[in-house]
């Protein structure tokens, strides 16, 4: 029974963390009163950015007052939800005998269904459109017919993969297109009637233009599934290998389409940040992808006293801003990370004072640096991890391997990695390019590329690489070993095991959402997979993989093309096409 109550407490935490980005709350108001919240004013995928989440929550609170007549003292503060504080207010409000919303009929029960159940919505449209009458069967040799089809399909997948990348742009904009279509049809009755007339003439009114807009996206994401079925039912080894090549190409394409869509969402986030910073003239996209944002205190060489600031960390720079009225910010400093290195300043185990948890950004040329102070130990840990990840992205471990000089680069044309031949994904900073021979590669492939073709020893304008203290596999194995064995074999006076594992999640004042479960309640996994290619995580939500590793599959319901898994005790997201499931028909 006690274990069941433990699970109940976890569900409350899960609920709190599901609500803390404000998206579900805004959608709830629109379900209660249509158009009470303009969904264009909120960010539907804030990725737990503090700035975007608080903006969504404030939009919800404002609508509660303006549309539902609630008073300010009847509502929570935006930071209380984002920080998951004072949920006991619900009991207080219950004691005030507020009249709840009237009961609705069970027709609205589907509002609480899992989102994942709708991912195949519209498949019947696709199937109906693509259905053709079966021709009369002709007497042909079965092997010849199959081989002809396989050759055409394989050649098609490999040769025209580049042209199919146009789907990426389409998929990234189809949501905006459907919203625009809805807006036009709701305000122009003549357009609505004309579209209905066209629908009747085209397919007897079964599918509207809005339905048909989804078909190309469904089509491109089914190609690799069709090939996977062909692989399962093919016996000839040569044909099977050809199909595997085509399957890899189509999986790579699907991943590219998803990454283009994802990057477009990131660009929208960056645009939101940019519009709120008053004196920022350069495009923030020049500094890479956003890693984390939030409040901290900072001491600079010029000002030794702590200054309250709001920061945005990108791959290449830290933007230090001062809050103005409303949601506007003023840029105070732009710290380019290539000139700095990290130094952690551990706080005492019992030090629970706010704003005492710090680490340093030290100038590489001895011209001072910055002290950053955070409210809690957990917040400091998150920022430190993101700084390490940003520095690792800007100057990866193998950036000078085989005589190269690899740097982050935006590729204008479709480009493949020289090592693995897979596509570089996204719409900006897709990978790395050598400044000498212009060779392109993924971050995880830098150590496997051929030698530089122009290794002349000429000087480049590149700043010295910043190396940070990032965990490597050997250290993890040592830590895991000494958690179970005495340290006495190395330190004769220390007859004890390691008490605090490396980078173990620390306790904080506020409850935090973690993938770690209560002792005795393990997270279920759905089979295992063998890693086929190296993958380097770009932020702390992703999981780095090494070729040959075995990863436990925890979920296949992440955003398209990504799975959630566990390897060496680490949990995160990874591209599904980088692994091959074990004990499946595909193997």
Domains by residue range for the chain, with CATH: 2-113 (1.10.418.10), 162-276 (1.20.900.10), 277-394 (2.30.29.30), 517-587 (2.30.30.40)
What pLDDT was estimated at residue 295? 93
Residue 63 contacts residue 29 (beta carbons within 8 Å): yes
What pLDDT was estimated at residue 374? 93
**C-alpha dihedral sign at 303, 305, 306, 308:** negative
DSSP assignment string, 264-308: HHHHHHHHHHHHHBTT--S-GGGG-SEEEEEEEEEE-SS--S-EE
What pLDDT was estimated at residue 178? 86
DSSP assignment string, 162-213: HHHTHHHHHHHHHHHHHHHHHHHHHH-HHHHHHHHHHHHHHHTTSS-HHHHH
Report residue 356: phi and psi, to 5°: -115, 0
User: Edge-to-edge, what's the strand order for the sheet holding 340-345?
Assistant: 329-336, 317-323, 307-314, 290-299, 369-374, 357-363, 340-345
The secondary structure element, H or E, covering residue 434 is strand 431-434
What pLDDT was estimated at residue 483? 62
What is the dihedral angle through the alpha carbons of 143, 149, 155, 158, rounded to the nearest 10 degrees?
A: -110
Round to whole Å and give the CA distance between 80 and 439.
49
Residue 413 contacts residue 407 (beta carbons within 8 Å): no
Report residue 51: phi and psi, to 5°: -60, -50
Residue 342 CA, distance from chain mean position: 25
**C-alpha dihedral sign at 572, 574, 580, 584:** positive
- Using the CB atoms, write b or e for 179-214: b if 16+ within 10 Å: eebeeebeeeeeeeeebeeebeeeeeeebbeebbbb
Residue 23 contacts residue 59 (beta carbons within 8 Å): no
Hey, how many other C-beta atoms are within 10 angstroms of the C-beta on 408? 19
By CB atoms closer than 10 A (0-12, 13-18, 19+), residue 425 is buried
**Taking the CA of residue 295 as centre, how many other CA atoms within 13 Å lie in the half-sphere pointing to its CB?**
12
What pLDDT was estimated at residue 255? 83
Residue 38 CA, distance from chain mean position: 25
Per residue of the chain (587 residues), what is the pLDDT tens digit?
577 777 777 787 788 888 888 999 998 998 888 888 887 778 888 878 888 988 899 899 999 988 888 888 888 888 888 887 776 665 555 555 555 554 544 444 444 444 444 445 555 555 555 555 555 555 544 544 444 444 454 455 545 666 777 777 787 788 788 888 888 988 899 998 999 899 888 888 888 888 888 888 888 878 888 888 898 899 998 898 889 888 888 888 888 888 888 888 898 899 999 989 988 888 999 999 999 999 999 998 777 788 999 999 999 999 999 998 878 899 999 999 998 989 888 776 556 788 888 999 988 877 778 999 999 888 999 999 999 999 999 989 889 998 999 999 999 888 889 998 888 888 899 999 999 999 999 998 998 899 988 754 444 444 444 433 333 333 444 455 556 555 554 444 555 666 555 444 433 333 333 333 333 334 567 789 888 888 888 777 788 888 888 999 988 876 667 888 998 888 888 888 788 887 544 33
Round to whole Å and give the CA distance between 156 and 571.
37
Round to whole Å and give the CA distance between 536 and 546.
9
Which residues, at least 6 apart from 503, have a Cβ–Cβ distance to it below 8 Å? 471
- Using the CB atoms, write b or e for 442-458: b if 16+ within 10 Å: bbbbbebbeebeeeeee
- Using the CB atoms, write b or e for 383-397: b if 16+ within 10 Å: bbbbbbbbbbbbbbb
User: Edge-to-edge, what's the strand order for the sheet holding 579-581?
Assistant: 570-575, 562-567, 550-555, 528-531, 579-581
Report field, pTM of the whole predicted structure over 0.75: no
What pLDDT was estimated at residue 582? 76
3-state DSSP assignment of residue 431: strand
Residue 565 contacts residue 554 (beta carbons within 8 Å): yes
**Taking the CA of residue 457 as centre, how many other CA atoms within 13 Å lie in the half-sphere pointing to its CB?**
0
The secondary structure element, H or E, covering residue 552 is strand 550-555
Round to whole Å and give the CA distance between 191 and 201.
15
């Amino acid at each position: 029974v006690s274990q069941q109550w433990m699970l109940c407490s976890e569900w409350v935490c899960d609920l709190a963390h599901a609500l803390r980005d404000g998206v579900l709350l805004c959608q709830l108001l629109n379900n209660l009163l249509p158009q009470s919240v303009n969904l264009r004013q909120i960010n539907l995928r804030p990725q737990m950015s503090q700035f975007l989440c608080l903006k969504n929550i404030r939009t919800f609170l404002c609508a509660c007052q303006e549309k539902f007549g609630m008073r300010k003292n009847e509502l929570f503060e935006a930071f209380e939800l984002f920080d998951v504080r004072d949920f006991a207010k619900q009991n207080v409000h219950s004691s005030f005998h507020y009249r709840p919303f009237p009961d609705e009929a069970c027709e609205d029960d589907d509002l609480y269904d899992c989102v994942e159940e709708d991912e195949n919505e519209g498949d019947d449209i696709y199937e109906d459109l693509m259905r053709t009458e079966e021709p009369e069967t002709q007497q042909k040799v079965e092997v010849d017919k199959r081989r002809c089809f396989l050759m055409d399909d394989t050649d098609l997948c490999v040769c025209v993969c580049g042209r199919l990348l146009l789907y990426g742009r389409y998929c990234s904009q189809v949501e905006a297109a459907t919203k625009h279509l809805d807006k036009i049809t709701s305000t122009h009755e003549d357009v609505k009637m004309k579209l209905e007339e066209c629908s009747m003439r085209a397919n007897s009114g079964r599918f509207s233009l809005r339905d048909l807009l989804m078909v190309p996206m469904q089509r491109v994401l089914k190609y690799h599934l069709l090939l996977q079925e062909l692989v399962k039912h093919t016996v000839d080894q040569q044909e099977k290998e050809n199909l595997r090549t085509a399957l890899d190409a189509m999986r790579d394409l699907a991943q590219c389409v998803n990454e283009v869509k994802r990057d477009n969402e990131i660009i929208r986030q960056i645009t939101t940040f940019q519009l709120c910073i008053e004196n920022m003239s350069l495009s923030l996209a020049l500094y890479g992808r956003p890693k984390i944002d939030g409040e901290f205190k900072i001491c600079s060489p010029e000002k030794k006293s702590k200054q309250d600031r709001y920061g945005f960390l990108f791959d290449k720079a830290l933007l230090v801003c001062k809050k103005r009225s409303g949601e506007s910010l003023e840029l105070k400093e732009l710290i380019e990370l290539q000139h700095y290195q990290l130094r952690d300043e551990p706080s005492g185990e019992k030090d629970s004072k706010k704003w005492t948890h710090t680490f340093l950004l030290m100038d590489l040329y001895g011209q001072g640096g910055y002290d950053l102070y955070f409210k809690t130990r957990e917040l400091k840990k998150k920022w430190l991890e993101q700084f390490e990840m940003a520095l690792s992205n800007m100057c990866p471990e193998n950036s000078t391997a085989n005589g190269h000089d690899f740097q982050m680069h935006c590729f204008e044309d479709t480009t493949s990695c020289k090592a693995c031949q897979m596509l570089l994904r996204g719409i900006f900073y897709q990978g790395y390019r050598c400044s000498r021979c212009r060779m392109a590669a993924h971050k995880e492939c830098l150590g496997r590329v051929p030698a530089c073709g122009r290794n002349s020893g000429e000087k480049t304008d590149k700043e010295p690489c910043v190396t940070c203290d990032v965990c490597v596999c050997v250290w993890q194995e040592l830590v895991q070993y000494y958690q179970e064995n005495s340290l006495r074999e190395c330190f004769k006076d220390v007859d004890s095991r390691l008490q605090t594992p490396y980078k173990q999640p620390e306790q904080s004042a506020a409850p935090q959402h973690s993938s770690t479960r209560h002792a005795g309640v393990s997270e279920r996994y759905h089979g295992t997979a063998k890693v086929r290619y190296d993958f380097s995580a770009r932020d702390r939500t992703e999981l780095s993989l090494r070729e040959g590793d075995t990863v436990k599959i925890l979920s296949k319901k992440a955003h398209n093309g990504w799975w959630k898994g566990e390897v060496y005790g680490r949990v995160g997201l990874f591209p599904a096409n980088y692994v091959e499931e074990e004990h499946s028909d595909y193997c």
